[in-house]
Every structure is written in C-alpha cells, then in structure tokens.
Chains A and B, each alone.
Chain A
Amino acid sequence: MNRNARKWWRAHKQRVQQQAVPSHTPLHKELAENEQQLRALYDNCSDVVFRSFRIGGSTRALVVYIDGLTNTEELERNVLSVLMKTKMPKDSAIGKLLDNVVSVSQTNELATFEDCLESVANGFPTLLIDQQECALSFGLAKWEKRPVEEPMAEGVVRGPREGFTESIQVNMALIRRIIKTPALKMEQMQIGGYTKTKVVLAYIDGIVDMDLVTEARARLNRIDIDGVLESGYIEELIEDHPASPFPQILSTERPDVTCGNLLEGRIAIIVDGTPFVMIAPATLFSLLQSSEDYYQRSIVSSAIRWLRFLFTGISFLLPSLYVALITFHQEMVPTSLLISMAASREAVPFPALVEALLMEVTFEALREAGVRLPKQIGAAISIVGALVIGQASVQAGLVSAPMVIVVAITGIASFMIPHYIAGLAIRLLRIPMMFLAGSLGLLGIMLGIIVTVIHLSTIRSLGVPYLTPIGPMKFAEWKDTLVRAPWWMMNARPHLTGDYQKIRQGANQKPGPEKGGDPA
C-alpha cells in the first residue's frame, strides 16, 4: 500500500468516527435534545424504533430499540406497562427506579451516546428519561438463532454431538458448561470498525502460559479492519507465517475439542457469527488428531492414529510415487504387477504425469463442485463423476485403470485427515510433488519432501515450533502423538512454551484387580 492510500485511510477513518459516533459525548439533561441527536444518527434506519411515553403519566421518557433484535413482549410487560403505571420517584434517582420497579434481570446505566448506540445495536432496548443524565439499557435482546446441532464437518461415533453455533453467547455457554471453574477466563473485545464483532479470548488461568495470552491479546488488539465476518479474517491477521499453506491455527466446531485444548494450556478465540472456534498454538500433529481418539480405547485409537499417518502420507505422495515408478523406476515394481500395469497403459496416449494431473484435477473439481451444488443436484453430479473418473474414461482409453485406483485411494486418504483445512494444504502440495516426480523421479519426490520438511520446521504457531514433538524432540510427548497412551499414563500436560502447570492428574491411577474391593 502506498503512502497516499494509507493517509487517505487514516483520514477516512477519522471522518467515519466523527460522523457515526459523537464519541464519548455525555447525554444531555433534556430528553428532547437527546432524542434529536439519536434520530439524526439513526436517520433512514427504518428498523430502529423510537417509542415515547410518560412515566406515571408525568415524566417524559423514550425507549429506543431495533425491531427484530429485541424481545418486544418482555419489553412491554416488564418495562413499558410497569413504568407507565408507576410514579417517578421525587429524588429522581434512576437507581431507585431500577431497584423497585423494573423487573429485568440484566440492566445497565449508560452515560454517553456511544454507549447508547452500542447497547441499541446489541439488541438491548435503551430507556432515556427527561431530566436524567444517564440512560438505562435492559438485557432483553432476542433474535433468531440456529439451534445447537451436530457439527457438520467433524463427526464422531463416540463423543458429544453438540456443535458450536453462530451465536457467541451460546458458544461461550457451551464451553462454560464443560469447564465450570472460575479459572476459565473469557476476555471480550470488539474487532471491526463497522461490524463491531465480539471476539472472546478464552483460557484457563493457572494452566496457560500467561506470555501466550499476552501475545495473543496484543495480536488481536493490533487488528484494524472494517469488518469481521468469519474467524478466518482474524486467523489471517494474527498467524505467524501468512505465506504458508499449512494452517497455524486450528479451528474446530466442537466444544469438547476446545475444552480439551484449553485444559492442555492452549488458548481459544471465539468470534461472533461463526461456528468455528480457533485454537492456538497448533502443531502439525494436533491437526492429525481427532477428539474421538480420546474417547475410544487407547489401543484402538493408537492404531487409528497410525492408519491416519499412513493415509496422510498416501494422500501426499501416492500419485507422485505412481508417476515416478511408471516413468523412471519400472525395475522397482514386481514383474507380474508391472506387466499388468503396462498392459492397461497400452492404449493410453498420455505420459503418466499428464494422465495423473488430468485425473487429479478432475477429481478435485468434482469434489469442489460437490460442496457448492444444491443438494438436489448433488446426486446427479456423483453419478456423472463416477462415470467420468471411473468406467467411461478407462473404456475410452483416456486413462489407465491403475491410475483410477490411485486417484480414488488418494481421494479417500485425504478424507482421513480430521481437520479439513490441514487436508487442503496437503491436497495443494500434491500437485507440485507430481511435477517433481514426473521430471526427476524418486529424486524429485525426495527433494520435494526435504523442502516440505524444511518449510514445516521453520513455521511456528504463537512461538511453538510446528513439528513439536519430533523436531525439536520432546520424547515425553510422543505418548500422545505417535500413539494415544491411556489416560492413567498421561500425568503430565504437553509442554507448549514458557511456564505452565506440569501435572494434570494424580499418579498411579492404573486400574487393576489389586485396586478393587477392600483396601485391606
């Protein structure tokens, strides 16, 4: 961005602020003045309702709220009707009115126009009274919300079925319902010049390294953007290596995953308006873990983890290995297999690299189309897809049957990665790997792997190296990375960075026959 643009942006921001908010202007004593100001600000805003009335038939008052964001029934029953019938106390203390008359649980006293605007925008009806220098806001916000449903992208067989929703209050409540200690802190801030999106930084005091919280808070406060529509906006503005394809912040739809990470000393960033909560710091291996690993038997989970590592490797390398073997290293394929592969490739006019690229790109396109298409057409696409990348293309002699198998296995393998975004990085890197394999064979694949590992070992996520616990090596953490040790073995928390509470549970909890029955 050049200097002029920057200057313009700064001036523009000032202008907007001056126009929009008479910032920190205290409220007038005269109701008429206040009303005029507010009506001027909410000029042409048809959704804002101004309702004038008299308290006890004498003192003039005004309620401002936004239609559709406020529970009008409650407002009528507990505020308007009560106030109209009562008498304004002589000593004119607004507090007394609150104590004795209004039966709303959450109320707030506001002193400036800015506060009034914020409270109205959040759906709180705001009451202004003549001859009073402060206004009242009532916690009667109510709008249409999606109910808590099963997460779309992170399903489990065993484990809670609740997923986050778009409402930040609901999301915070879902976390608080699991972690009940007051040590769970939720710091709220507003990001976005126009959207004024609520962002909450959650952590468990006493477990988390406070330097991590300070760093995250500083990065969040640094953000200067006009709107936040999804947590991705914030992720891009606070991550360490913007140019990397690998996600350095984990996002999840599941409250149990969030809580598990909070208990391991990570921080969570909850953004209003999205069901995706961000968790940092993340490592490569945390992206390859599923919450279900911790709910199933540890031996089974360990085996599934290994399967997942294997298929992550397949998803990354299988097409390029196939290309390298077919193009350069035929001698490595067992003879009988080589003969059948050669037979099926006989009619194919393309070199292996072109064949692989053709199929991979088609498959990725089908997959992407499947996400975008309306549900009714989805079935049609899957039939067409099965024909295109399956039977028909082989019969037409465009691709060989082994290639179809390779692409299919690769496609399945990429669904084994529990976090969709991590899968995307690997899907993306597959293409350059295929070019390397097509030009230098196995050597090219190895060079590609080396470059990927170099890249992975330069990345950090909020100060934690991305390849922990392999490089730098932390042997104690292998039991929750390469395998999933049973809970009675995982007495120490994983070490992220800085000081933290090391021990998470009592020692010697291994169950066994000697523990049952009488302690005699």
Chain B
Amino acid sequence: MGRLLEQGKISSSQMSKMLFLVIVASTVISVPSLTGKYAQNDLWLSPILASLIGFLTVFIVFSLNRLYPQQTVIQYSPDIIGKVPGKIFGLLLLFFYLHITGLIVRNYAEFIMGNFLPQTPISIVIFTMIAVCVYGVKAGIETIGRTAQVFFFFFLFPLILMPFLLRDMHLDFVFPMFEHGLLPALKGAIIPQAYFSEMFLMSFLLPYVTDPEKGMRAGMLATLGVAVVLTGVNIFILLVFGRQSSDYLYPVMAAFRYISIADFIENLDSVVMTVWILGMYVKISVFYYATVLGTSQWLELSDYRPIVIPIGMLIAAISFWSMPNINAPVISFPFYSPLMQTICPLLLLGVAYLRKKGKRQSQAQTAAASGSVHSEKQEG
C-alpha cells in the first residue's frame, strides 16, 4: 500500500453526491439541446441509454478498486501493465484530466458570460472560479465532500419549480414515438454517455472512502440519480419546446424564463444559474482534485498541496486555449472521454484479472511443486 497523500476520509454517501453533482452540473444545462439535435422527440430515452456506460464504468472502477484497495488508478496501473507502460498511461490520463478540467472551466465561463455578465472579461470569470477551487482543493477531500453534501440540497431546489410550467406543457409533443426507430435516440445518447463515463473519477475517491464495500452501491445510485434527473429534465424540456428543444443553446434556462407566478415571481432562470454555479464548483473542484492528486501520485510526492496552484494555472491556460468559442464543435469529446475513462480501464481490468489468474495458477503450480518436494518434511 502506498502512502496516503490525503489524510481526510469521506463517506460513500458523500462520494455519491459528489459524483452526482459532477455529472449533472454540466449536463443539465445543455444536454437537452445536444440530444434533441439527433433524437428529436425521443430525447427522453437518450439519457437512459447513455447511463449504461455509467453503470459499466462504476462496475469497472469498483472491481479494480477491489483488486487494489487504497490505491488510485495512477498507483495501480504500473502494477497491472508494467512500470513504464503504466506510467505512460497515467501521464496520458493526467493530461486528459487537465484538458477536461480546462474545458469544463471554459464551458462554465462561456455560460456565465453568455447569460449574465456579458461585459465582464472571461479571464476574471475563470480566475475567480479557479481561486475558489484552489481554496476548496487545498482544504482536502473531506471539505469537498461536505460542501457537495450541502450544495446537493440546493441543487435539487429548482426541481420544485418545475410544476409551475405545467401551463406551458403539451403532452402531444412526445408523439410520434420512435418515428425512425431507436437509432435517433441512440445517436442522441452519444454525447451524454461521454459525461456518464466521468464516473471514473470514483477511482480517485474510493481509496478515501470509509466504507468502500458500499462504493458500488453509492456509484450505482449516483448514476441512477443522474439518469433519472436527466430523463426528467429532457421530458420537461420536450413537453415545453417539442422539436424546437435543440434550437436553444441552454433550453433549461429558456424554460425557466417562462415561469411567472402572480406576475411577480419572474425570471427564475437566475435561480437556476445561481444553483448551477454551486454544482459547477463541485464539478470543477472534484476534477481539479483528481488531477492534483493523480499528478502528485504520479510524481510520488509526499504532499499534494504544493502543486495545487501550479496546476490551477495550467487549467486556466488550457481553458483559454482549448477552444476558440463555445460553438466550436467538440466532436472529439464523446469518443475521447469514454476511451480514457471506460475503455482503457476496462482493458486494465481485463489484464489485471488475467494476471491474477495467471499468478494464482503459477502460484498453485509452484505450491504444488514445492508441496511435492517438501511434503515428506511437512508430514514428518
């Protein structure tokens, strides 16, 4: 067992809330329009199909963790595929996380600027968020877990407001179902599944969970929760906008703008935005934390805190340079993300199982061989 860089401990329920917020925070705002582009009025099915990747990822991570408890993927990949290939894979994974964190921060900043602070320089929006996350990441995983728990309840609050939209909902927007078969819904699932494979972050959290045996249940619950929320949001957007869902960049915001209670409580999109910032903070800080922890484990440092700020600067730089604007097609992401977070770990798991099997066989053989040599002694 490697030395634990992190002294803090979280509970499995904290972990599941962190993972829930990680995936929901970025998907809930934009996924209805992204899936609607392909799935048309079958977009409610896409998250359910996409969640299969999530369940698979949770299963892979949990099985790997059972083989190498108390270790993260950075620590056990050299054990599985050899020191040099393992280190190379670790480095690739770290670059992946660095890049993804930068993309998330950029997405966040674009959203804030597009909707609320159009004249604020993007660098201010990015730097303030990274500064807040530096504070959170330095405080450790315990603090991130607790903040996730607190923000979880706030995050669910806008769901209460959905019934006020009943007036604008049209049930007939759902029909005709499966006009072109299941293919559109499957196509629509391609983008959300990339987010579901972010469940792989569990690999960085599981070593610090006090009750890791419940890790599988916690991960599955988080995936299920995300699937339910996304399906619910997609249905609700579909019922409000129908086939136009994909015309909006942020359909959830647009839908909440429709709410008007007694001509006084209006413009509730700002409530959605404020709550969404809380979720984004949890998302960015969990990604950021995974990157920092993984890097310090890759470099075999004794403490991760000294590299928090340098990595924060890298994230800021990547968020500036990674894409020219929000509308630039991110074609690679739906394939890139599951490749690193689901397929590679699946291969790792396969190799680990084969090796373990081989080891057990060879052990059994040597045991049998040595047993036959020493059997007389032992008996005597």
| Residues of A participating in the B interface, judged by any CB pair closer than 8 Å | 328-329, 331-332, 334, 440-447, 449-451, 453-454, 457-458, 465, 467, 470-473
Q: A328-B117, A473-B13 are in contact. Are A465 and B132 (CB under 8 A)?
A: no
A443 contacts B14, CB within 8 Å?
no
B150 contacts A443, CB within 8 Å?
no
CB within 8 Å of A: which of B256-288? 263-264, 266-267, 270, 273-274, 277-278, 281
A-B contact pairs, 25 of them (CB 8 A): A329-B116, A334-B266, A441-B116, A441-B117, A442-B116, A442-B273, A443-B277, A446-B277, A447-B128, A447-B132, A453-B150, A454-B132, A454-B139, A454-B143, A457-B139, A457-B146, A457-B147, A458-B142, A467-B150, A471-B146, A471-B148, A471-B150, A472-B14, A472-B146, A473-B149
8 new A-B contacts, CB < 8 A, other than A446-B274, A471-B148, are A334-B264, A334-B266, A442-B116, A443-B116, A450-B147, A454-B136, A458-B140, A472-B146
Q: A329-B116, A447-B132 are in contact. Are A334 and B263 (CB under 8 A)?
A: yes
Q: A442-B116, A458-B143 are in contact. Are A453 and B270 (CB under 8 A)?
A: no
Most interface-central of B116, B153, B264 (chain A CB within 10 A): B116
B146 contacts A443, CB within 8 Å?
no
Decide if B125 is an interface residue (CB 8 Å cutoff): yes
| Residues of B participating in the A interface, judged by any CB pair closer than 8 Å | 11, 13-14, 112, 116-117, 120, 124-125, 128-129, 132, 135-136, 139-140, 142-143, 145-151, 153, 263-264, 266-267, 270, 273-274, 277-278, 281
A334 vs B146: C-alpha distance when bound (angstroms): 36
Which residue of A331, A450, A457, A470 is within 8 Å of B278 (Cβ)?
A450
B270 contacts A442, CB within 8 Å?
yes
CB distance from B45 to the nearest CB of A (A): 33
A332 vs B264: C-alpha distance when bound (angstroms): 10
B146 contacts A465, CB within 8 Å?
yes
A451 vs B11: C-alpha distance when bound (angstroms): 22
Chain B residues contacting A441 (CB-CB under 8 Å) are 116-117
CB distance from B135 to the nearest CB of A (A): 6
B146 contacts A332, CB within 8 Å?
no
A450 vs B112: C-alpha distance when bound (angstroms): 16
5 tightest A-B CB contacts, nearest first: A471-B146, A457-B146, A471-B149, A446-B277, A471-B150
A222 vs B261: C-alpha distance when bound (angstroms): 60
Beta-carbon nearest neighbor of A466 in chain B: B146
Beta-carbon nearest neighbor of B277 in chain A: A446
B147 contacts A440, CB within 8 Å?
no
A444 vs B136: C-alpha distance when bound (angstroms): 16
Which residue of B135, B153, B264 is within 8 Å of A454 (Cβ)?
B135
Most interface-central of A441, A450, A458 (chain B CB within 10 A): A450
B125 contacts A443, CB within 8 Å?
yes
Beta-carbon nearest neighbor of B112 in chain A: A443
Chain B residues contacting A470 (CB-CB under 8 Å) are 149-150, 153
Most interface-central of A446, A449, A454 (chain B CB within 10 A): A454
B117 contacts A332, CB within 8 Å?
no
Beta-carbon nearest neighbor of B125 in chain A: A443
A445 vs B112: C-alpha distance when bound (angstroms): 14
A413 vs B266: C-alpha distance when bound (angstroms): 25
B147 contacts A329, CB within 8 Å?
no
Q: A442-B270, A443-B112, A443-B117 are in contact. Are A450 and B149 (CB under 8 A)?
A: no
Most interface-central of B11, B128, B263 (chain A CB within 10 A): B128
Chain B residues contacting A331 (CB-CB under 8 Å) are 267
Q: A329-B270, A454-B139 are in contact. Are A440 and B149 (CB under 8 A)?
A: no
A184 vs B364: C-alpha distance when bound (angstroms): 63
Chain B residues contacting A334 (CB-CB under 8 Å) are 263-264, 266
Chain A residues contacting B281 (CB-CB under 8 Å) are 450
